[in-house]
Amino acid sequence: MAVWALGINHTTAPLDLRGRFAFAVDQIPHTLQGLRQSFGGQRHPEVEAALISTCNRTEIYCAGSRAALDHTVGWLAETGGVTPSVLRSHAYTLENDQVARHAFRVASGLDSMVLGEAQILGQMKDAVRAAESAGALGTTLNQLFQRSFAVAKEVRSSTEIGAHSISMAAAAVRLAGQLFEDLSQIRILFVGAGEMIELAATHFAAKNPKAIAIANRTLERGEKLSSRFGGEVMRLADLPSRLHEFDAVISCTASTLPLIGLGAVERALKQRRHRPMFMVDLAVPRDIEPEVKALEDVYLYTVDDLASVVQTGQANRQAAVAQAEAIIDAGVQSFLHWMDQRSAVPLIQQLNQQAEAWREAELVRARKLLARGDDPDAVLQALAKGLTQKMLHGAMAELHAGDAQARERASHAIQHFFLRKER
Known binding residues for NADP(+) = 192-197
Q: Say whether 252 is catalytic.
A: no
Q: Which residues are annotated as a binding site for substrate?
A: 54-57, 112, 117-119, 123
Residue of 250, 307, 299, 312 whose CA lies nearest to 15: 307
Task: Report d(CA 248, CA 246) in Å as an integer.
Answer: 6
C-alpha 288, offset from chain centre? 27
Closest C-alpha among 238, 295, 297 to residue 272: 297
64: β partners: 2
Give the whole-angstrom CA distance, residue 200 versus residue 191.
11
Binding residues: 54-57, 112, 117-119, 123, 192-197
3-state SS class at 58: strand
- 17, 50, 51, 55: the catalytic one is 55
- The length of the chain is 423
Environment class of 311 (CB within 10 Å of its CB; exposed 0-12, middle 13-18, buried 19+): middle
Residue 158 · residue 330 · CB < 8 Å:
no
Paired strand residues for 288: 260
SS (H, E, C) 393-421: HHHHHHHCCCCHHHHHHHHHHHHHHCCCC
Rounded distance between C-alpha atoms, residue 108 and residue 122, angstroms: 11
Contact 399, 413 (CB under 8 A): no
Is residue 287 within 8 A of residue 251, CB to CB? The reply is yes
In this structure, the strands spanning 57-64 and 92-95 are: unpaired
List, edge to edge, every strand of the sheet that includes 48-53. 48-53, 57-64, 2-9, 92-95
Distance separating alpha carbons of residues 155 and 111, to the nearest angstrom: 13
Sequence-ordered list of residues with C-beta below 8 angstroms from that of 59, at least 6 positions apart, any chain: 5, 6, 7, 8, 9, 51, 52, 53, 106
Residues classed as catalytic: 55
